[in-house]
Structure 1
Amino acid sequence: MARVAYHRSDMLSALLHCDSALNHGSIRPDRVQEASIAVLQSRIFAWTGDFDAASTVLGRALALSTIAQDTAGMAESLEQLGWAHYRQDQFLLAKEQWSRSLELRRSIKDLFGVTNNLRWVGIALMDSHDPVEGALYYDSALYMARVLKDPYLLSCAHDNMGIHMDSALYYARIHGDAAHLHRIMYTTGQVLIRRGKVEEGMAYCDTVLAYARQTRNAVLERDALMDLGYGYRAKGMWKQALMLNDKAYGINLRVINPPATKDVLAKQSVLNEFRRRQIGDSLRYVRELEQVEGERALASLRAERNSILAWAIGLAALAVIGGATGYQRNKLRHRKLRHERDKARSELRALCAQMNPHFIFNALASINDYVLENESELASSFLTRFARLMRLVLENSRKERVSLAKDLEALQLYMELECLRSNNGFTHSIDVAAGIDPLQIMVPPLMIQPFVENAIRHGLAKKQKGHLRVSVKKRSGQLIVTVEDDGVGMKRPTVPQIGDEQTSLGTAITAERLAMLNEKLGMPLGFRYLDVPVGVCVEVTLPLTEGR
């Protein structure tokens, strides 16, 4: 239903159907389905110009598809990430995402997807001022479209080549997608205006502008206004041209500038309604939870009162005094236990908070380097991933337990950032054994990150093209997480000592947290180094806890 609403350009209904599919259905979607829903959500956000929100949900979609080993889902997530970069004029980053998607589509012999990615890489190259290589990709895409005889691909290929616009419109009408047809009409108008057929070209752009406003497609509205302004300039009508350019510039700021985007989208009825519903659901859940807790507390108090009254009636005065003394003693003991529990919880949160600077310092240094070197696109990409990672870290560090999926998502982002910092100096992977559902398994947050950090700093930093592998499996009713690298290796003690200089602060904090969990849960938890021929391998034992 969400996809039907999306193709009808009814974005409010599409968002609400996505929300229902994720949170209100009788059957919860699996990881592949959840990733597909996230990709659709990103398209809706991109339609309205909110590329920040689109990138956030696409990061989750890519993580879910990677865990599920869904190659097609990974390719689709990368494609939409490419468009998010492209719409913000980050052409090199767009080309990088589309090139990765192209390889994935080739690996599964998806010829339709290969053709689309060939076109998109060509578009990015053209806009990056590399027309020769871009034209080669266009030619390849046109050849593939002719082989497949697909109307949609043929219309796109003719449109990209900037020739045979009649053919592009013909195939677009056969395909029957209104959004795609109006995008082709926009390009047709653009080409006609630049070829001197100003009136004919502006007529196409007027039609596209009306459609864009009707469907609230901010990007298409901006493009149509810019071309109409170009048409008025060609006719010497400078006042009208300036007015349209001002409108296009205003939309451009709204689409590309993330803070402005949030301000504008906050006023749009589509996202307002969606957010109101989300907030309402959250408040209703909180009220229900408070009611249940209140009823439990009341029942507990009544039971306690009845017990005391029964003892008071049945026993003599001395027994009453003894019972009161025992009650006070019991109350003090429970208060002490509650105090120790709250203290342990506070210490856990404080220890989590101490880990945050490990993420922040290196990331900010890299962003600073990119800015100083005028690498604005790389700085923007790095900052987007860093912001997404910090959001996860801050959310997770408030909780004693998070889902394994959330923790692995943060770990994946951390490894991606470190890989970028080292100019792709190493590869990395996360393997989850069959029979483990990352959405159901609950783990203490940020336990594994210090060991990954040590592997990168001490093992892989001095070696080119190393590999870092994180694997998760069950053993004897516990969760075993292994971090292994094939780097230069390091000296390590057989028993980790918190004060040892060879042990990082992050590892020391993890040792403290595991010791506290040992005391709390009464089970053997910890970490140990394993002997391996190359590099370093550390095995972390965590409690195996299931539940949302």
Structure 2
Amino acid sequence: MKFKLSFFNVYIISLLTSLILLGSRDSYAQTKKIDSLLKRAASHTKQDDVRAKILFDLTTQTLPHNPKSALKYTEEILSFENQIKDKNIVSATHRIKGIIHFHLAMYTEALTSLNQALSISLQLKNDLEIGAALSNIGTVYLVQSKFPEALKYLLDALKSFEKNKNEQQAANDLGTIGIVYTEMGDFTEAMKYYQKSLALHHKLKNYVGQSSVLANIGIIQFKNKNIPEAIKYSQKSLKIADSIADLRGTARDNGNLSAYYNELKNNDLALIYGLKAIEINTKTNNKRSLGINMQNVSAAYLGKGNYKEAKSYGLKALQTGNELNITELKRDASLGLSELYDAMKMPDSALLYYKQYTKFADTISNDKKKNEITRMGIQFDFDKKEFSYKQKELLTGAQLKQQQLQLALNTAEIQKGLQFRDLQTVQLQNEKFRSEEKEKQLQIARNKEKLQASKVNALSQQQKLNKLELKQLWLYGILALVVLMSVLIYLLNLYRIRRLKFKSELQYQQYQLSESELKAIRSQMNPHFIFNVLNSIEAYVMDNEKRKASRLIQKFASLSRLILENSTKSLVSGDKEWKALMLYTELEAMRYDDIFTYTFTVADDIQLKTLYLPPMLIQPLIENAILHGLIVNPKPDAHLNVTITRKEDKIRITVEDNGVGIGNIENKNVMGGVKEMSMGLASIQERIDMINKQQIGKKASFAIEAGTDQQGTIAIICLPFFNGVPELYTEN
């Protein structure tokens, strides 16, 4: 028998100007205040902000004891919301209306009202109301067992409360998040949030909040099979709830104690606490908690052998679960009825309700892996139960025992298979870690080798320089002994030689600097390009489009291989660079679901295998044409055209698109994209300038202009015709 527990987050009701406490220390003072507000409402009948505030205060005062009456006041406020100038009142009214629906177990209506409140608060930029609405929506999803949705809204609410330093609301929200993690089975994470919440409630002297958190900690102890600790925490909570006349807290703790004593087979105490919880929840019209209490009372009657009462309360619990559409309650009530009919020797009815139990249990988990394991366990229990019922009628006691042993063996085999699978997963992870560590060690070794080679080269140059200087000193001494005139002539010639040598070394250093700058630019462009392609692969993987992701990875692997081969060379063969450009364009087309077409054209008088091009020079132009031209405002005939032609001793590469045009980019909301495009074009111009420095007499150029009628963009690169110059193709 599964015993159901009651979570209760007391401070889900947070209002615009004050907090609503569920329960009051002085009911007489509260009644007196309600009477005063009713007199003010009767004297001020004009539908304006003043009457709206009076009715709102009546709602907050009436809600803890009579939610249905409170609902009428909110409906009256919203009937003249267009006449209310302060829209914060309208937002708060929608939200408290949602809270009232929550207490009345009208969860669909509650979400509608709370989402309206959130929408108005976002328009007003009211951070307090935004956080409160988010927290309330998360709480509604929580009681519906929609834990991922609940966690999303509650965490967003917590950020809002912490940003505005609202400790009271933060304490409430932390407790509710702890409840979500408890229901999801992550007790460690739940305890972290409960401890934070309890500390804030102690700081604020919030006794209702302390009671709520203590009750929830008791539930974790119960789930960890530590029943005495669970009872201790629940009794602490009940003591606080009784001292502040918190009816809902009292009902919650009585219901939980009923479940705890059921677990200890103390049916008398379980019945006492359960019936008391039903009495209080009936007064407050808390239908959800009533369903939970009825299930616990049914279990207590079953333990006492009172099958009639057990059946009555069990059916009521199942009916409540169906009315409120609470899957967990329907699951537990079905299991309880199955066990009841089994005890009554009615196997057909027991099997019927057990099938319902398996159906409800199989729908609770959202996680696929957890859902599959849970389903297998439930199916196994179901098969075992069904087999047990049939064997009672068909098999002898010895045969049944043998079958049970076989089932136990099957269970052990399943457990062994699961453990073997987990072990394989761990081994794969360890292997991955080892591979990454080896790669890091290899990279460190390569860097050390390069550093050592640089040191040796520098030392060799220094030794050669020292020897040369020593020879020069000997030569100066010998020539000084010959004749003064010879010395003067020698000095003049030496001065001239040194100037020529210095000029030659300066030119060589400038060439090396240009080459290193060119290599640095390529090394910056390659990671940038790879990062963009990886983003595309990630998008398909996240969308679960396996085939597209597989095709994208294959093409990306081919492209990566070409990039790695070309990245260390100043010039590469035209066919390899052309293939890399086509692969890149095809990858981008796949990434954007083929919203544009493209063509690559090579002139007849050009042989790509004998032509050499600088690597990764043309690719940024294609990237800019796609990202800043074709996909900004997609159109049906979006097209990219890349051509290569020969004019005299130069190669002309043209990248043309019919997108928004370079002149229209400023008008779009793509300022970040324009900045990236400018950096890419600047990098191309720097490489063109470096090529011109290295190739004297063979000038390269780069130009970009708008297309016809300002539609699209045309980028043109002209390069010297590098053909059969082997010294330029080696690694830098």
TM-score, normalized by length of structure 1? 0.48
Q: Which has the larger radius of gyration?
A: 2
